[in-house]
Structure 1
Amino acid sequence: MADCVCVVSEFRAGNFRRVSFEVASEGRRVADALGLPLYGIAVGSGVSDKAEELGFYGVDKVFVADDAALEHYVAETYVPVMAEIIQGLNPAAILLPASVDGKDLSARLAARLQAGLAQDCTEVVCENGVLKAKRPIFAGKCLAWCEWSQGALPMISCRPNVMDCKAADASRKAAVEKVDAAVPEARSRALSVDLDTSGKVELTEAEIIVSGGRGMKGPENFTILEELARELGAAVGASRAAVDAGWRPHSDQVGQTGKVVNPNLYIAVGISGAIQHLAGMGSSKFIVAVNKDPEAPIFSKADFGVVEDLFNFVPVFTEEVRVLKSTC
């Protein structure tokens, strides 16, 4: 008989990433459906002071491994520590983020714990005590429902910005228990982490993204998208064509070989809509496409389409946003 539902958080640069709260919220729903408590795992350097915040989103108790050697994600240190904690909890299911680090972590943990991993899931349901998880396959062209055989330990990595996040309840703080887990000496280590300090919104956590493609015609023209993004409080992304041309850094690339994003609003400007790009943004809640070619594939995926030269439309649209903001 399982004792809990377990969620794994992601702690970076002194704070929990938003996806940790989304996973905690989803874990709360699963735990309630199974009639079990929800336990969280927080690993990092300085995480003890923040651990109780997971309780705002439904976690009952947080098991913390706080060590200077865990400041940066390194598989050789994180996986043994987390596996040791999880093995002592006897969970009915494990949920964790499908972030860049989370995908690596979940695969390694699943192998070590002999768990059945459903990666990059967009929906989790519990029917009569049986868990099911939905995940995109074949570059997002199909959706598969996953179930686990009797006796298997379900492990579910949740796609960021998809699961409904509970409203934070600051009066509900989680109990915190520090775990004296032995941190192994790794053969590799992070020498430094190049964090973007320019004030830009991180793509994978942005609620609004404005992306440009080959239709931008050059790197200098991305300034019009950056101006629109500033007015909307959005992040700026790019298609693979724009990145391959050297117009934007790879960190801005959205798509199968770039970042998978799930904002509330995705504005695709001058992007034709190749399947590789759709795989990276197709699950956005609302998609707006701006392209002068009415036959562009992006329109088949868009909720709203604008058939117009982007150089005529975007500046006017930006000004309308600015005017609207001034009247609110």
Structure 2
Amino acid sequence: MLIVNTEICIGCGACEANCAFGAITVEDDIAVVGDACTLCGSCVDSCEVEALCIEGAEKKAPVDLSAWSGIWVFAEARHGKIAPVAFELLGIGRQLADQRKAPLTAVLLGADLRDKTDELIAAGADKVLLADDPALAQYREDVYGKVLEHLITEYKPEVLLAGATAIGRSVIPQVATALSAGLTADCTDLAIRPEDGVLLQTRPAFGGNIMATIECPRSRPQMATVRPNVMAPAETDSSRTGEVIEVELSQELLSSKVEVLETVLCEEEQGNIRESEVLVSGGRGMENEKGFALLRELAGELNGTVSASRAAVDAGWIGYPCQVGQTGKTVSPKLYFACGISGAVQHTVGMQSAETIVAINRDEKAPIFDLATYGLVGDLFEILPLLTQKIKEQRGHVS
């Protein structure tokens, strides 16, 4: 609840001017709070005489920003292997660390992973914090959260990056809450101001209609989860050397209220679109499920995989595991065909890092052509069969 101290309030109107929801008005030289208040706190920050406060909110002591340094990457491991997103984060992490002239550290949690530390160092890490224990073999959110919180409190990194994966999305918000740290989820771009170390975290907002850049200047560490396949991994250098720090963990940190009974791996239908080098993607312009037969034929000739926009998935023409975009998967193939896809930002944020994009659409003003490497304007039901036929002829598949 927002409380107004009427004895202190001077009716200056700063709170009214700074309220984005129009929830505060000044009446008879006193601020009055309406029902639209969301307790965002902007009015509290703008009140110079400190006449406003949020009931139950404790005033936090300012963080000593100079005590925090270094860039950390949470190197997620799955079934004894480093997740590909970890190497993507080391790529951008290396750039941020070089700008800050600070070390880049990979944090590796799991069991029997000592032989994986060299991979992280070769990919750009200066140090590897290794927590290797049988209790970490299976991912359990409470244990991983406590271990990360413990390490951050002890070593005080300036920035922590993690993949926006199922694991990253579950454990990183828990850690941020425990540390009262700022966190931006699902980032698609990162930069840093060298002079003050503020991390500039860009992500889609308002349903993907705008790209917002978010800062967390008053809290440490600055935390961000990053979508897989949007950052380029650093080139590996097997000659690099680094320091491996093995972390001793107490039984209290490793204790859990969760018992993992079984882990089952399932194969996604029609292949994993994140791993395919060629994607043939269809949108609303395919008109129906039968239209996807043309895409499958083209994908077959290119040894590729069929994917889709949200519109096609929502229509039931193809399954959700094949969806590309803000609410689907982020992909970065060498070749991406966008067939009957208009190019709304909700889709393009999921495929804009493809090396080569070929767009096929009857609307010459479709936004997808602004992003495409090559564009074909016309009826895709005529173009696709001709394109597939030409590829068959080039490859000698015509009998």
> TM-score normalised by the shorter chain: which range applies?
0.7 to 0.9
Residue deviations 1:95-143 (CA, integer Å, cap 9, x gap): 2222343233322221122221132331323322423324132233323
Pair 1:269 & 2:351 matched? no
CA distance in 2, matches of 1:138, 1:144: 9
Give runs of aligned pairs for residues 263-302 of structure 1, distance below 5 A.
263=333, 265-273=335-343, 276-281=346-351, 284=354, 286-294=356-364, 296=366, 298-299=368-369, 302=372
CA distance in 1, matches of 2:150, 2:273: 33
Distance 2:198 2:304 in 1: 35
1:104 counterpart letter in structure 2: S
2:292 pairs, out of 205, 222, 243, with: 222
CA distance in 1, matches of 2:300, 2:275: 16
Q: CA RMSD in A?
A: 3.1
Q: What is the CA-CA distance between 1:230 and the residue it aligns to?
A: 4.7
Please tell me the residue identity of whatever aligns with 1:250.
Answer: Y
C-alpha contact 1:52 1:175 (8 A) present in aligned 2: no
Q: Distance in 1 between matches of 2:284 and 2:100?
A: 49
2:217 paired residue number: 149
- For the 8 Å contact 1:139–1:279, the answer to whether it is kept is no
- Structure 2 distance, partners of 1:248, 1:212, is 10
Q: What percent identity do the matched residue pairs reach?
A: 38
Q: Deviations over 1:199-257 (max 9, x none)?
A: 83x33455543212244355455344234335545442112333234332211112333
Match of 1:192 among 263, 277, 288: 263
| SS at 2:378 equivalent | coil
Specify the alignment match of 1:308 in structure 2. 378
* Alignment partners' CA distance in 1, 2:331 and 2:173: 20
Shifted more, 180-189 versus 15-24: the winner is 180-189
Q: Relative to structure 1, is the Cα distance of residues 34 and 241 closer, same or farther in structure 2, using a 3 angstrom cutoff?
A: closer
1:251 paired to 2:288: no
- Partner of 1:55 in structure 2? 121
Cα distance in 1 for residues equivalent to 2:142 and 2:181: 19
**Other structure's SS at 2:254 match:** coil
Rg larger in 1 or in 2?
2
For structure 1, the 5+ residue unaligned runs are none
Q: Matches of 2:99 and 2:347 in 1, distance apart?
A: 36
With normalisation by structure 1, the TM-score equals 0.83
Distance (whole Å) between structure 1 residues aligned to residue 292 and residue 244 of structure 2: 46
Residue pair 1:118, 1:157 contacting (<8 A) in 2 also: yes
If asked which structure has higher relative contact order (CA below 8 Å, sep 6+), I would say 1
Compute the displacement of 1:32 (Å).
2.1
- Of 52-61 and 101-110, the range deviating more from structure 2: 101-110
What residue in structure 1 maps to residue 236 of structure 2? 168
| Aligned-residue offset at 1:71 | 4.0
* Superposed displacement of residue 162, structure 1: 2.6
